[in-house]
Copies of this chain bind each other. A is one copy, B any other.
Amino acid sequence: MRQDKTIRSEMGWSTADKIVVRGMDLVNEVIGKVALGDMAWLEINGTLPTPQQSVLFNALMVTLVEHGMTPNAIATRMTYLGAPEALNAAVAAGLCGMGTVFVGTAEGSARIMQEALKDVEQPDLKSIAARIVADLRARKSSVPGIGHPIHKPIDPRTPRLFQLAKENGYYGRYCELIQLIAAEAERVSGKVLPVNATGAIGAVASELGLDWRICRGIAVMGRAIGLVGHIAEEIRNPIAINIWERLNEETSAHLRPKSGNRPNE
Protein backbone atom coordinates (compact mmCIF):
# COMPACT_ATOMS: atom_id res chain seq x y z
CA MET A 1 0.00 0.00 0.00
CA ARG A 2 1.19 3.49 -0.83
CA GLN A 3 1.41 4.74 2.74
CA ASP A 4 3.93 2.10 3.62
CA LYS A 5 6.43 3.06 0.97
CA THR A 6 9.08 5.34 2.35
CA ILE A 7 9.64 8.50 0.34
CA ARG A 8 13.30 9.38 0.03
CA SER A 9 15.36 12.31 -1.14
CA GLU A 10 19.13 12.67 -1.37
CA MET A 11 19.17 16.47 -1.40
CA GLY A 12 20.15 17.24 2.16
CA TRP A 13 19.54 17.06 5.89
CA SER A 14 20.50 18.89 9.07
CA THR A 15 20.84 18.61 12.82
CA ALA A 16 21.44 21.25 15.49
CA ASP A 17 25.07 21.76 14.56
CA LYS A 18 25.35 20.33 11.07
CA ILE A 19 23.86 20.90 7.62
CA VAL A 20 24.60 18.50 4.79
CA VAL A 21 23.80 19.26 1.17
CA ARG A 22 24.21 16.59 -1.50
CA GLY A 23 26.52 14.69 0.82
CA MET A 24 28.79 17.63 1.55
CA ASP A 25 29.18 19.46 4.86
CA LEU A 26 27.74 22.90 4.13
CA VAL A 27 29.78 24.83 6.66
CA ASN A 28 33.16 23.14 6.25
CA GLU A 29 33.13 22.03 2.63
CA VAL A 30 30.83 24.39 0.75
CA ILE A 31 30.58 27.91 2.20
CA GLY A 32 33.63 29.89 1.09
CA LYS A 33 34.89 27.01 -1.04
CA VAL A 34 32.31 26.25 -3.69
CA ALA A 35 31.20 29.07 -5.99
CA LEU A 36 27.56 29.50 -6.98
CA GLY A 37 27.87 28.02 -10.46
CA ASP A 38 29.60 24.90 -9.17
CA MET A 39 26.96 24.63 -6.48
CA ALA A 40 24.37 24.50 -9.26
CA TRP A 41 26.24 21.57 -10.82
CA LEU A 42 26.42 19.87 -7.43
CA GLU A 43 22.70 20.31 -6.90
CA ILE A 44 21.82 18.78 -10.26
CA ASN A 45 24.49 16.09 -10.56
CA GLY A 46 25.42 15.22 -6.98
CA THR A 47 29.15 15.82 -7.42
CA LEU A 48 31.34 18.86 -7.88
CA PRO A 49 32.24 19.59 -11.51
CA THR A 50 35.68 19.06 -13.00
CA PRO A 51 37.42 22.33 -13.96
CA GLN A 52 36.33 21.75 -17.56
CA GLN A 53 32.74 21.06 -16.62
CA SER A 54 32.79 24.13 -14.39
CA VAL A 55 33.93 26.47 -17.13
CA LEU A 56 31.41 25.12 -19.58
CA PHE A 57 28.45 24.94 -17.22
CA ASN A 58 29.07 28.47 -15.93
CA ALA A 59 29.31 29.61 -19.56
CA LEU A 60 25.91 28.12 -20.35
CA MET A 61 24.32 29.73 -17.33
CA VAL A 62 25.73 33.24 -17.78
CA THR A 63 24.64 33.33 -21.43
CA LEU A 64 20.99 33.97 -20.59
CA VAL A 65 21.26 36.00 -17.36
CA GLU A 66 20.66 39.37 -18.96
CA HIS A 67 19.14 40.52 -22.21
CA GLY A 68 17.93 44.01 -21.39
CA MET A 69 14.30 45.02 -20.96
CA THR A 70 12.77 41.65 -21.84
CA PRO A 71 9.12 40.78 -21.19
CA ASN A 72 10.04 38.92 -18.03
CA ALA A 73 12.10 41.85 -16.75
CA ILE A 74 9.05 44.07 -17.30
CA ALA A 75 6.82 41.56 -15.49
CA THR A 76 9.23 41.48 -12.55
CA ARG A 77 9.37 45.27 -12.34
CA MET A 78 5.57 45.62 -12.49
CA THR A 79 5.22 43.04 -9.73
CA TYR A 80 7.81 44.73 -7.55
CA LEU A 81 5.91 48.00 -7.98
CA GLY A 82 2.81 46.51 -6.38
CA ALA A 83 4.53 44.32 -3.80
CA PRO A 84 8.00 45.69 -2.91
CA GLU A 85 7.83 43.69 0.31
CA ALA A 86 8.05 40.47 -1.72
CA LEU A 87 11.12 40.57 -3.97
CA ASN A 88 10.87 36.79 -4.19
CA ALA A 89 7.40 36.98 -5.75
CA ALA A 90 8.61 39.60 -8.23
CA VAL A 91 11.33 37.23 -9.45
CA ALA A 92 8.76 34.42 -9.54
CA ALA A 93 6.50 36.51 -11.76
CA GLY A 94 9.33 37.06 -14.21
CA LEU A 95 10.18 33.36 -14.34
CA CYS A 96 6.57 32.48 -15.18
CA GLY A 97 7.06 33.82 -18.71
CA MET A 98 10.16 31.76 -19.61
CA GLY A 99 8.17 29.53 -21.89
CA THR A 100 8.11 28.24 -25.44
CA VAL A 101 8.41 31.62 -27.14
CA PHE A 102 11.63 32.84 -25.60
CA VAL A 103 13.68 30.20 -23.80
CA GLY A 104 11.97 26.82 -23.99
CA THR A 105 13.89 25.87 -27.10
CA ALA A 106 16.95 24.73 -25.16
CA GLU A 107 14.70 22.04 -23.76
CA GLY A 108 13.25 21.29 -27.19
CA SER A 109 16.53 21.06 -29.05
CA ALA A 110 18.10 18.89 -26.36
CA ARG A 111 15.05 16.65 -26.47
CA ILE A 112 15.00 15.94 -30.19
CA MET A 113 18.72 15.20 -30.19
CA GLN A 114 18.76 13.06 -27.06
CA GLU A 115 15.82 11.03 -28.31
CA ALA A 116 17.41 10.62 -31.74
CA LEU A 117 20.79 9.53 -30.40
CA LYS A 118 19.56 7.33 -27.58
CA ASP A 119 21.07 3.85 -27.74
CA VAL A 120 22.62 4.61 -31.14
CA GLU A 121 26.22 3.41 -31.24
CA GLN A 122 27.51 4.85 -34.49
CA PRO A 123 24.96 7.37 -35.63
CA ASP A 124 24.81 8.71 -39.17
CA LEU A 125 24.32 12.29 -38.03
CA LYS A 126 23.47 13.65 -41.47
CA SER A 127 20.65 11.16 -41.96
CA ILE A 128 19.39 11.80 -38.46
CA ALA A 129 19.36 15.55 -39.07
CA ALA A 130 17.41 15.04 -42.29
CA ARG A 131 14.87 12.82 -40.57
CA ILE A 132 14.41 15.24 -37.66
CA VAL A 133 13.79 18.17 -39.97
CA ALA A 134 11.45 16.16 -42.19
CA ASP A 135 9.44 14.92 -39.21
CA LEU A 136 9.02 18.39 -37.75
CA ARG A 137 8.02 19.85 -41.12
CA ALA A 138 5.46 17.08 -41.62
CA ARG A 139 3.90 18.12 -38.30
CA LYS A 140 4.18 21.80 -39.23
CA SER A 141 6.32 22.33 -36.14
CA SER A 142 9.28 24.67 -36.17
CA VAL A 143 12.72 23.26 -35.46
CA PRO A 144 13.76 24.22 -31.92
CA GLY A 145 17.14 25.85 -31.41
CA ILE A 146 17.64 27.38 -34.82
CA GLY A 147 16.84 30.74 -36.34
CA HIS A 148 16.70 34.16 -34.73
CA PRO A 149 14.81 37.32 -35.65
CA ILE A 150 17.84 39.55 -35.04
CA HIS A 151 21.01 37.61 -34.47
CA LYS A 152 21.66 36.62 -38.10
CA PRO A 153 23.24 35.38 -40.22
CA ILE A 154 24.83 33.98 -37.04
CA ASP A 155 23.97 34.17 -33.37
CA PRO A 156 27.26 35.41 -31.86
CA ARG A 157 26.80 33.34 -28.69
CA THR A 158 26.80 30.06 -30.58
CA PRO A 159 30.38 29.95 -31.95
CA ARG A 160 31.64 31.08 -28.55
CA LEU A 161 29.87 28.24 -26.76
CA PHE A 162 31.08 25.68 -29.31
CA GLN A 163 34.63 27.04 -28.99
CA LEU A 164 34.47 26.58 -25.23
CA ALA A 165 33.07 23.07 -25.70
CA LYS A 166 36.09 22.25 -27.86
CA GLU A 167 38.59 23.79 -25.46
CA ASN A 168 37.16 21.79 -22.60
CA GLY A 169 36.76 18.44 -24.32
CA TYR A 170 33.00 18.46 -24.71
CA TYR A 171 32.56 19.06 -28.42
CA GLY A 172 30.87 15.92 -29.69
CA ARG A 173 28.04 14.56 -31.69
CA TYR A 174 25.33 16.78 -30.19
CA CYS A 175 27.24 19.90 -31.22
CA GLU A 176 27.66 18.45 -34.68
CA LEU A 177 24.09 17.30 -34.96
CA ILE A 178 22.51 20.67 -34.12
CA GLN A 179 24.62 22.26 -36.86
CA LEU A 180 23.59 19.60 -39.35
CA ILE A 181 19.98 20.18 -38.36
CA ALA A 182 20.36 23.91 -38.97
CA ALA A 183 22.03 23.30 -42.35
CA GLU A 184 19.31 20.89 -43.42
CA ALA A 185 16.57 23.28 -42.29
CA GLU A 186 18.20 26.08 -44.25
CA ARG A 187 18.47 23.83 -47.31
CA VAL A 188 14.84 22.74 -47.37
CA SER A 189 13.34 26.06 -46.30
CA GLY A 190 15.59 28.47 -48.15
CA LYS A 191 15.72 30.63 -45.03
CA VAL A 192 18.65 31.81 -42.91
CA LEU A 193 18.44 29.59 -39.82
CA PRO A 194 21.59 29.69 -37.70
CA VAL A 195 21.98 27.64 -34.55
CA ASN A 196 20.81 30.11 -31.91
CA ALA A 197 21.91 30.44 -28.29
CA THR A 198 19.31 28.07 -26.90
CA GLY A 199 20.16 25.52 -29.59
CA ALA A 200 23.83 25.74 -28.64
CA ILE A 201 22.95 25.47 -24.96
CA GLY A 202 20.79 22.42 -25.63
CA ALA A 203 23.65 20.79 -27.54
CA VAL A 204 26.41 21.56 -25.03
CA ALA A 205 24.19 20.61 -22.08
CA SER A 206 23.59 17.28 -23.82
CA GLU A 207 27.36 16.83 -24.19
CA LEU A 208 27.64 17.45 -20.45
CA GLY A 209 25.18 14.63 -19.84
CA LEU A 210 22.23 16.70 -18.71
CA ASP A 211 18.76 15.27 -19.24
CA TRP A 212 16.78 17.36 -21.76
CA ARG A 213 14.03 17.81 -19.17
CA ILE A 214 16.33 19.88 -16.94
CA CYS A 215 17.78 22.07 -19.73
CA ARG A 216 15.26 24.87 -19.28
CA GLY A 217 16.63 25.06 -15.75
CA ILE A 218 19.92 26.42 -17.09
CA ALA A 219 18.09 29.47 -18.35
CA VAL A 220 15.93 29.67 -15.26
CA MET A 221 18.90 29.72 -12.86
CA GLY A 222 20.60 32.38 -14.93
CA ARG A 223 17.59 34.57 -15.48
CA ALA A 224 16.57 34.44 -11.80
CA ILE A 225 19.85 36.26 -11.19
CA GLY A 226 19.17 38.70 -14.00
CA LEU A 227 15.75 39.53 -12.58
CA VAL A 228 17.26 40.32 -9.18
CA GLY A 229 19.57 42.64 -11.11
CA HIS A 230 16.59 44.44 -12.62
CA ILE A 231 15.05 44.88 -9.17
CA ALA A 232 18.35 46.32 -7.92
CA GLU A 233 18.19 48.88 -10.72
CA GLU A 234 14.52 49.54 -9.95
CA ILE A 235 15.55 50.34 -6.35
CA ARG A 236 18.26 52.75 -7.51
CA ASN A 237 16.21 54.27 -10.33
CA PRO A 238 12.50 53.44 -10.28
CA ILE A 239 10.96 53.33 -13.75
CA ALA A 240 8.13 50.83 -13.25
CA ILE A 241 5.73 53.51 -12.06
CA ASN A 242 6.39 55.59 -15.17
CA ILE A 243 5.87 52.59 -17.42
CA TRP A 244 2.57 51.80 -15.75
CA GLU A 245 1.24 55.36 -15.73
CA ARG A 246 2.16 55.88 -19.34
CA LEU A 247 0.62 52.61 -20.52
CA ASN A 248 -2.50 53.19 -18.47
CA GLU A 249 -3.00 56.59 -19.99
CA GLU A 250 -2.21 55.59 -23.53
CA THR A 251 -4.28 52.41 -23.65
CA SER A 252 -7.42 54.06 -22.31
CA ALA A 253 -7.12 57.54 -23.83
CA HIS A 254 -9.60 56.70 -26.58
CA LEU A 255 -12.16 55.63 -23.99
CA ARG A 256 -12.04 58.41 -21.45
CA PRO A 257 -13.83 61.78 -21.65
CA LYS A 258 -11.77 64.60 -23.10
CA SER A 259 -11.44 66.37 -19.76
CA GLY A 260 -10.63 63.17 -17.87
CA ASN A 261 -8.25 63.13 -14.94
CA ARG A 262 -5.22 60.95 -14.86
CA PRO A 263 -5.92 57.29 -14.28
CA ASN A 264 -5.37 55.40 -11.10
CA GLU A 265 -5.20 52.00 -9.53
Q: Using a CB-CB cutoff of 8 Å, which residues 240-265 of chain A contact chain B?
A: 240, 242-257, 260-265
**Interface locus among A62-70, A119-127, A169-177, A178-186:** A62-70
Min CB distance A160 to B, Å, is 5
Docked Cα-Cα span, A247 to B230, in Å, equals 14
Task: Tell yes or no: A190 within 8 A of B by CB.
Answer: no
Q: Using a CB-CB cutoff of 8 Å, which residues 81-134 of chain A contact chain B?
A: 81-104, 107
Indicate if the CB atoms of B100 and A75 lie closer than 8 Å.
no
Docked Cα-Cα span, A66 to B251, in Å, equals 14
Min CB distance A42 to B, Å, is 8
Q: Which residues of B lie under 8 Å from residue A191 when comparing CB positions?
A: none
Question: Mind listing 17 A-B residue pairs with CB under 8 Å?
Answer: A2-B242, A2-B245, A5-B242, A12-B68, A14-B67, A17-B156, A35-B36, A36-B62, A43-B232, A44-B232, A71-B240, A75-B76, A79-B96, A85-B99, A88-B89, A211-B232, A224-B225
